[in-house]
């Protein structure tokens, strides 16, 4: 397995007296080479799970492993590419400089690094702006720069938190095509998104989270009827779960 999560629970200090953890005994596996969509309403716990996988925060209990190695071990994260929900860069740098730094941090150098930078910027339609300061970029261009940085070292596993955020339809199509290419190359992609049409287009399986608990995990084609959309399925599942708490 590329990602193994077992009985993962996270309680924040401010919630210690509450019965509701941010993540509640989550069990989840992502296979090598698959594209896995991680869905849920705002506050469901998606970003918390991703931050635990990246070891930005530690779980209260349970385990998270990357390629069989605990996520707290830097070796387990060496082959990961990560895009945060809101990527931030020093705005006096250029996209070329950001990718150069990222590549060198991953022991890339010389002609190989230059070639990878040019190929990624071309693929993400940023070649024309590679020497412009990031302060001149639109939100979508910054988002695409963040994705390029996550991919610069050709990672085995890509963990992407809302990769379609801030992108126009053309940008979303670029990212979706790139994700499908990664799957064809045998790379694993684990990403969260609120844009359900993109999830339907590129994912092999999805997991739906609400209140820190996994409500559904599986293949959409096998679990959703032909006359039902992912949006309908998602809304019905969340509303049914919320009624348990409202009632």
Q: What is the pLDDT of residue 221?
A: 79
Beta-sheet strand order (sheet of 213-218): 80-83, 157-161, 188-192, 35-39, 205-210, 213-218
Q: At what angle do helices 139-151 and 110-123 cross, to 10 degrees?
A: 140
In contact, 132 and 142? CB cutoff 8 Å? no
| Per-residue model confidence as pLDDT tens digits over 6-47 | 999 999 876 555 568 999 999 999 999 999 999 999 999 999
Query: Can you list the residues of the chain whose pLDDT is less than 70?
Result: 14-19, 246-247
Tokens standing for residue 231: 């949006």
pLDDT at 18: 56
Q: Give the span between the Cα atoms of 204 and 35, in whole angstroms.
A: 5
What residue has token string 């779960």? Answer: 241
**Range(s) of the domain holding residue 150:** 3-246
Q: What is the pLDDT of residue 20?
A: 81
Structure tokens at 132: 């412009």
pLDDT score, position 85: 87
Q: What is the CATH number of the domain that holds 72?
A: 3.40.50.300
CA 93 to chain CA mean position, Å: 24
- Distance between CA atoms of 52 and 39, rounded to whole angstroms? 17
pLDDT given for residue 125 in this prediction:
95
- Span 81-108, pLDDT tens digits: 999 988 999 999 999 999 999 999 999 9
**pLDDT number for residue 224:** 80
Task: Supply the pLDDT for residue 14.
Answer: 63
Q: Which of 27, 33, 34, 37 is nearest to 4 (CA)?
A: 27
Asked if residues 47 and 82 have their Cβ atoms less than 8 Å apart, the reply is no
Burial 113-127 (b: 16+ CB within 10 A, else e): beebbeebbebbebb
Asked whether the CA dihedral 160, 161, 162, 167 is positive or negative, the reply is negative
Q: Which pTM does this prediction carry?
A: 0.92
H or E element that contains 115: helix 110-123
Give the pLDDT of residue 247: 58
Number of compact structural domains in the chain: 1
The structure tokens listed for 225 are 């009827």
Residue with tokens 């287009």: 201
């Amino acid at each position: 397995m590329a990602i193994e999560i077992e009985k993962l629970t996270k309680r924040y200090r401010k919630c210690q007296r509450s019965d509701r953890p941010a993540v509640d005994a989550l069990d989840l596996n992502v296979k090598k080479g698959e594209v896995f969509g991680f869905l849920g309403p705002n506050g469901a716990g998606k970003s918390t799970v991703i931050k635990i996988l990246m070891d930005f925060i530690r779980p209260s209990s349970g385990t998270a492993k990357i390629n069989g190695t605990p996520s707290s071990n830097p070796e387990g994260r060496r082959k990961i590419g990560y895009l945060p929900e809101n990527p931030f860069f020093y705005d006096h740098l250029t996209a070329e400089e950001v990718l150069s730094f990222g590549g060198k941090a991953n022991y890339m150098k010389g002609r190989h690094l230059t070639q990878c930078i040019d190929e990624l910027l071309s693929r993400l339609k940023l070649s024309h702006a590679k020497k412009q300061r990031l302060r001149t970029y639109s939100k979508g261009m910054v988002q695409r720069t963040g994705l390029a940085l996550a991919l610069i070292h050709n990672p085995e596993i890509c963990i992407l938190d809302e990769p379609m955020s801030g992108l126009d339809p053309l940008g979303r199509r670029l990212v979706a095509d790139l994700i499908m290419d990664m799957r064809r190359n045998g790379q694993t992609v684990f990403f969260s998104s609120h844009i359900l049409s993109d999830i339907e287009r590129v994912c092999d399986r999805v997991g739906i989270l609400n209140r820190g608990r996994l409500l559904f995990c599986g293949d959409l084609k096998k679990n959703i009827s032909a006359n039902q959309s992912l949006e309908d399925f998602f809304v019905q599942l969340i509303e049914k779960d919320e009624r348990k708490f409202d009632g």
